[in-house]
Chain A
Amino acid sequence: MALVLGATGDIGRAVARRLGRDGWQLQLAARDGQRLEAEARDLRLRGISVETHPCDVLSEDAGVSLLDALSATPDVAVCTVGVLGDQSAASDDWRTAERLMRTNYNGPALLMGELANRFEQRGSGVLVGISSIAGERGRGTNYTYGSAKSGFTAFLSGLRNRLWRSGVHVVTVKPGYVRTRMTDHLDLPGLLTVDPDQVADRIAVAIRRSQDVVHVGRLWRGVSLVLRTIPERLFKRMSLP
C-alpha cells in the first residue's frame, strides 16, 4: 500500500500512476475532494486499486485525522505537497509569506512526522519527501519558498538519522526545474528541466534501492554542489533566476 500526498498536483499524479503501474495499491490524499475523485477514477480504470482521503495540510490536525482515516498504515508514503508562490508577494505581505512557509514546511513536515511515528512502531516503511534544489541556498528570487524547503530537507535528514535503526527508510528528493503548473509561467532552461514523469520514475527507483538523497536529471547534482560551494561574498552579488 502506497500513500501519495498531494495526489492532484502534476508530480503527485505522475507518482500515483507510476506506483500504480508498479503494482502498489494506492491511498491518495489532496485538498480538493472532487478533483481527487477524478484522479481516482482514472487510476481505477487503469486497473489500480485506490482509496481517497481529502486532506488539507494547513489544517491543524491534518496528520492525525488522515492517518486515522486510512484503511491501513501504508508501506510507502510520498509527500508531493508544495507551492512555489511569488517571492515579491511574499516579501510584501507577511500573510502570504506565512502561508507559503506553512504549505511548504509545517504541513508536509508534520505529516511526515506523524507517519514516521507509525512506521517506527511497525518497524518498516519508506518515507519519500519532495524537497527542492531551492532549499540548498536562499536566493533573492525565491528565499521564502527556498527556506521552507531547506527546513523540510533538514527535517527529512533528521528523520532518516533517527529512524534508520528501526528499519524505516527516508528518501529526500531534490528536483530542480520540473515542468508543472507551478512553473508554467517561468521560462525554464530546457536542458535542466524535467517532466513530472521523470520525477516519478526517479522516486520509484529510489524506493527500490533505498537511496537517501536523490536529484532528478543528470546535471542537478553538479548544480547543487556549485550552488552550495560559491563563497557568500560572491553569492550575494549574483543575480540568480
Chain B
Amino acid sequence: MLAAGAERGLRLMGTTELAGWGRYPRVGCELATLRREDELCQRLGASTLIARGNGRSYGDAALNPELTLSMLAMDRLLSFDAEQGLLECEAGVLLRDLLALYAPRGWFPPVVPGTAEVTVGGMVAADVHGKNHHGDGSFGSHVESFRLATGSGDILTCSRDRNPDLFRATVGGMGLTGVVLSVRFRLCRIESEYVRAETLGTADLDATMATLAASNDWRYSVAWIDPSAKGSILGRGLVTRGDFATDATAASRPTPASRRQLPSPALLSVGLNQASIRMFDALYHRVGRFRSGLRPVHYRSFFFPLDRVRGWNRLYGRRGFVQYQCVLPVAQSSRGLRAILEHVASSGHLAYLGVLKFFGRQGEGLLSFPMSGYTLALDFPMRSGTVDLLDSLDEITASHGGRVYLAKDACCRPDHLREGYANLESFAEVRRAAMNGCEFSSVMSRRLGL
C-alpha cells in the first residue's frame, strides 16, 4: 500500500493550520514534504492523503487533516526536447520558475492561469484554463502524459493511450486519483516576451459578452467587469485582448528586471470596506479608458497582474474570502449571468474583481471545469451570509445548466455538484480502482461526498 513515514522516509511535520488562497476554511492538517519519489512508496501509517502544491486553489481542495503532502520540494526539471518544445518536470515545479527559464529562450506554456505561483501538478489537478481557452483549451489538452502514484504504491504512466481512464480522471481530478509525480507537456514558441494588447470599455453585459465573442480571433481575451454596477450598466466592463508580439520593435524590448513586489497595503488589511471596493472599480474604469489602443505589455503584467501585490489575499481580512467561479452554457449565459449579477447586486454583498471569459470546448478530464460558454468569477469577502449567498448562486448556476470551478470552491453542496458534473459516476469508478490501499481525499472531497 502507498505509504509514508518510517525511517528515511517521509517525516510528518506535525499539525499545521493550512488553508487555500482564500484563507477560508482553515484546517489543522498533518503536513509532510515529499522530496523524492521513493519516499512515497515506503510503509506508512496514513491511510488517507491529499497532495498539495503551492496552495493557490482557493478553498478546501488541498487540505487533508490526516495527511497533506507538500509537493514543493519535487521541483526538478527532467527533460526538454527543444525540437518539439516537449518539457517533462516534477509536479512541484512552479510555473513562475518555468517562465523565468523558458520565456527568454522563446518558449511559453500553452496555458497559464491568472497567477504564476501555481505548480505544474496543480495545473493538471485543476485542469487550469487561461485567457486563451476559447482557442487553445485548458492545460490538460497540452499534457502528453504524467506519472501518477496510485494507492497500491504503483507508479503509472498515464496518457491518452496508456491508462486513458486514469488520464481523464486525473486531469481536473483535484488530486483525488493519486499523487501526480511528473508531467510531460508541450511549450509553445513565442517571438517576444511582450503581448500586444488593447483594452475596450463596454457599457453593459450584452456589450461585454458581444465584445468577448467578437474577440475569438485574438489568442488571449478576458473581461473585467464591474460587480457593483446595477440597472442599465449591469455587467459593464473592460475587455482586454492580445496576441504575443511578433514584430521586431516589441521583440527588441529588454526583459524588465523582475519587478519589486508591492507589499499589500497594511491599512487595508483590516478588510476592504464597501467604499474602497467602489473606488477600486471607478479607478479601474478610468484607467481603462486612458489605455485604449494597442500597446505592448510584458507577459507578466498581462497574465499575472495580481502577482505584483504579494499576499493580496490578505486584503480581505482575517476571515478570508471566497471566489465564486461558474460557467454557463452559451445558450443560457446571458440570462444566467444577468440573474447572478442581479442577485449579487440586490443581496447587499459586494463582490470585488469580477472576471468574465468566453470558453471554447469542454475539457478532456472527467471533472474538467470548462465547457463551451461564459465563465464568471467574483470575489466575496467572507462574512455572515456569504455562504447563503453562494448557495443561492449555485442554485442559479445549476438551474441554467452550469457548474462551479472546484479549484475556487469552498461551499458548494453535493447536489449542486451532481447537477453540474455529468461524469461523476465514471470518475468515482476510476478513482475507486486507483485508491486501492490509500484513500486520496480532501476536505473538499468529503464535503462534496466524492
A positions within 8 Å CB-CB of B: 10, 35, 38-39, 41-42, 45-47, 181, 184-187
Contacts and interface: CB of A to CB of B under 8 A. Distances in A.
A45 B32 CA distance: 27
A184 B76 contact: no
A42 B11 contact: no
Nearest to B75: A42
B35 A39 contact: no
Interface in B276-295: none
B77 A10 contact: no
B257 to A, nearest CB: 14
B309 interface: no
A181 B33 contact: yes
Contact of A10 (B32, B73, B76, B101): B73
A184 B78 contact: no
Contact of B13 (A10, A39, A185): A185
Taking chain A's interface residues, is the majority helix, strand, or loop, or is none over half, making it mixed?
Answer: helix
Nearest to A42: B76
Interface in B1-25: 11-14
Nearest to B16: A187
B189 interface: no
B79 A184 contact: no
Nearest to A38: B76
B227 to A, nearest CB: 35
A185 B14 contact: yes
Nearest to A47: B101
A10 B73 CA distance: 8
Taking chain B's interface residues, is the majority helix, strand, or loop, or is none over half, making it mixed?
Answer: strand
B139 to A, nearest CB: 20
Given A45-B79, A187-B14, 13 more contacts: A10-B73, A39-B76, A41-B76, A42-B78, A45-B77, A46-B101, A184-B11, A184-B12, A184-B32, A184-B33, A185-B11, A185-B14, A186-B14
A84 to B, nearest CB: 11
Contacts of A47: 101
B230 interface: no
Most buried by B among A38, A184, A185, A187: A184
Tier of interface size on chain B? 10 to 19
Contacts of B76: 38-39, 41-42
A39 B35 CA distance: 12
B134 to A, nearest CB: 32
A42 B77 contact: yes
A185 B12 contact: yes
A35 B14 CA distance: 27
A181 B12 contact: no
Contacts of A10: 35, 73
Given A45-B79, A45-B80, A46-B101, A181 B13 contact: no
A184 B77 contact: no
A95 to B, nearest CB: 16
B36 A35 contact: yes
Interface in B70-117: 73, 76-80, 101
A66 B41 CA distance: 33
A239 B35 CA distance: 32
A105 B35 CA distance: 26
A62 B78 CA distance: 29
A186 B13 CA distance: 6
Contacts of A46: 77, 101
Contacts of A42: 76-78
B255 to A, nearest CB: 15
A38 B14 CA distance: 29
Given A35-B36, A46-B101, A184 B13 contact: yes
Nearest to A35: B36
B311 to A, nearest CB: 15
13 contacts: A10-B35, A10-B73, A41-B76, A42-B76, A42-B77, A45-B78, A46-B77, A47-B101, A181-B11, A181-B33, A184-B12, A184-B13, A187-B14
Contacts of A186: 14
A186 B12 CA distance: 9
A187 B14 CA distance: 7
Contact of A41 (B11, B14, B33, B77): B77
Contacts of B32: 184
A223 B426 CA distance: 57
Contacts of A35: 36
B263 to A, nearest CB: 16
Contacts of B78: 41-42, 45
Contacts of B33: 181, 184
A47 B77 CA distance: 11
A35 B73 CA distance: 14
Interface string B312-339: 0000000000000000000000000000
A46 B105 CA distance: 11
Contacts of A187: 14
Interface in B240-272: none
Contacts of B77: 41-42, 45-46
Contacts of A39: 76
B405 to A, nearest CB: 31
Shortest 4 CB-CB contacts between residues of A and residues of B: A42-B76, A45-B77, A184-B11, A185-B11
A38 B36 CA distance: 10
B101 to A, nearest CB: 6
Nearest to B8: A181
Most buried by B among A10, A45, A187: A45
Nearest to B37: A38
A47 B97 CA distance: 13
Interface in B22-79: 32-33, 35-36, 73, 76-79
A165 to B, nearest CB: 39
Interface string B364-379: 0000000000000000
B14 A181 contact: no
Nearest to A196: B73
B101 A181 contact: no
A197 to B, nearest CB: 11
Contacts of B101: 46-47
Nearest to A9: B35
